[in-house]
Amino acid sequence: MKNPQASKREPASFLAIIERLEHTHGHRLHGEKRANALRAFHASPEGFARIALAAEERANRSPLGLFRTMIDAGEHLLSPAENERLADRPVSPAFVCPDCTGLSFPSEARLIEHRENVHGEWSQSSEAAAA
């Protein structure tokens, strides 16, 4: 999925990774989310590539969403061993995102926030809070 507006400041290796995730997910990464991904790439190109691959392998429906969550958590800055340890940790079934394999949250509120921000889903509690 070629992005005709991709910046000349974006390295080819960054574009290759992002375009693969965009193609897999069927959506493009734009604006601040793309800028955040580019900052993560510059901070650690190797870690960025590593978590992109992990997101593709672990996500049920949304590898791009899981990838963004992993960037937000700073996983691209971890060593390969630390990434492996995170991927192998036991997951509590209480507050787990069904689309992001192995991604758990400390509370239902954090899971709802994740579902809204990453997957664009609105819960009944969100609608009640907005009313």
Could you tell me what percent of the chain has a pLDDT over 90? 26
Q: Is residue 73 part of a domain?
A: yes
Q: How far apart are alpha carbons 96 and 35 in whole angstroms?
A: 27
Could you tell me what percent of the chain has a pLDDT over 70? 73
Domain range spanning residue 92?
Answer: 12-130
Number of domains within the chain: 1
19 CB burial (10 A radius; 0-12, 13-18, 19+)? middle
Higher pLDDT, 44 or 58: 44
Q: Is residue 6 part of a domain?
A: no
Predicted local distance difference test score (pLDDT) of residue 126: 43
